[in-house]
Structure 1
Amino acid sequence: MKLLVVAVGTRMPDWVSAGFDEFARRMPREMPLQLIEVKAEPRTTGKTVEAMMAAEAQRLEAALPQRCRRVILDERGDDLTTVKLARRLEQWQGLGEDIALLIGGPDGLAPEIKAGAHERLRLSSLTLPHALVRPLLAEALYRAWSLHKGHPYHRE
């Protein structure tokens, strides 16, 4: 099983890539963590937010493998503890398919992407800078995996 973080936006600050890469590197071979970036629709006058999100939705769809479990990051998603995320990782492993975690652009995810999701997760009740979500999610996944495997990284 692969964990695919599929995110709108391609020009992130260096610290975003460094943070994501650090935790992706720590993941085991049986559960690699990979980032797939798709281009954000340019925010220009004359385009509606809905049209921009629809264009991003097409790019997200094109970037996804044919068979995968779609998990969107959404402010109304399940609020999981690290322990619950570790259990969710274990459940996902049992499914035998890749897991795609989708991160929307500045305006969020299009309704059609939300409608096609198998699950919704929330990282925080706080409003987070868009770029911060990638390394935060990577760290949360690594922490959940380490807890599941009894690795000493996570302490309660």
Structure 2
Amino acid sequence: MKLSIIAVGTKMPAWVQQGFGEYEKRLPREWKPQLKELAVAKRGNNANVEKLKNQEAEQILAALPRSAHVVALDVLGKKTDTQALAKNMLNWQQLGQDIAIVIGGPDGLAERCLQRANQKLSLSDLTLPHPLVRIVLIEQLYRGWTINNGHPYHK
């Protein structure tokens, strides 16, 4: 199983890179994600949000590994907690497929990205800035791994 995180947004601030890197280095080799950063569609005054999301969708869909199990992070996705994410991680390992977790841009994901997803998860009812989602996601992946492996980090 290979894990990819496909995220709209490049040139992240240092604090995002540091936060992501801190948890990425703690993960064992089999859970270290390949981060694929994609350009945010250019926004301007009176921009058509659906058009922008569709431009980002082109990149996202092209970046997905062909036979991957796709997990879209979406505010309307299934509410999950850490224990449920840990169980999902065990299930993902048993699928025998690559896993791709998708983080949309500032306006979320286009409908066709959501339709491509095998799962839609919500990390929070709060609206989180997409750079922060990277850190929350990687920390929760680490936390899920620790739960599944009896590591005391979660306590």
TM-score w.r.t. length of structure 1: 0.94
Separation in structure 2 between the aligned mates of residue 6 and residue 139 of structure 1, nearest angstrom: 16
Q: Which consecutive aligned stretches of 4+ in structure 1 deviate over 6 angstroms post-superposition?
A: none
Equivalent residues, number: 155
The reply to whether residue 99 of structure 1 matches residue 99 of structure 2 is yes
Separation in structure 1 between the aligned mates of residue 62 and residue 45 of structure 2, nearest angstrom: 26
Q: Judge conservation of contact 2:106–2:129 (CA < 8 Å) in 1.
A: no
Separation in structure 2 between the aligned mates of residue 101 and residue 26 of structure 1, nearest angstrom: 19
Q: Judge conservation of contact 2:43–2:52 (CA < 8 Å) in 1.
A: yes
Unaligned runs of 5+ in 2: none
Q: Which moved more, 1:137-146 or 1:39-48?
A: 39-48
Residue 30 of structure 1 aligns to a residue whose secondary structure is: helix
Q: Where does 1:1-156 land on structure 2 (aligned, <5 Å)? A: 1-45=1-45, 47-155=47-155
Separation in structure 2 between the aligned mates of residue 62 and residue 46 of structure 1, nearest angstrom: 27
Amino acid at match of 1:113: C
Separation in structure 1 between the aligned mates of residue 51 and residue 62 of structure 2, nearest angstrom: 17
Structure having the larger proportion of residues in helix: 2
TM-score w.r.t. length of structure 2: 0.95
CA shift digits 1:68-90 (9 cap, x unpaired): 01100011112222111111100
Residue 127 of structure 1 aligns to a residue whose secondary structure is: coil
CA shift digits 1:105-152 (9 cap, x unpaired): 111100110111100111111111221100110000000011001111
CA shift digits 1:18-53 (9 cap, x unpaired): 111111111111222221100011003464111111
Separation in structure 2 between the aligned mates of residue 131 and residue 32 of structure 1, nearest angstrom: 18
Separation in structure 2 between the aligned mates of residue 62 and residue 22 of structure 1, nearest angstrom: 28
Q: Percent identity?
A: 48
Residue 10 of structure 1 aligns to a residue whose secondary structure is: coil
CA shift digits 1:49-72 (9 cap, x unpaired): 111111100011111111201100
Unaligned runs of 5+ in 1: none
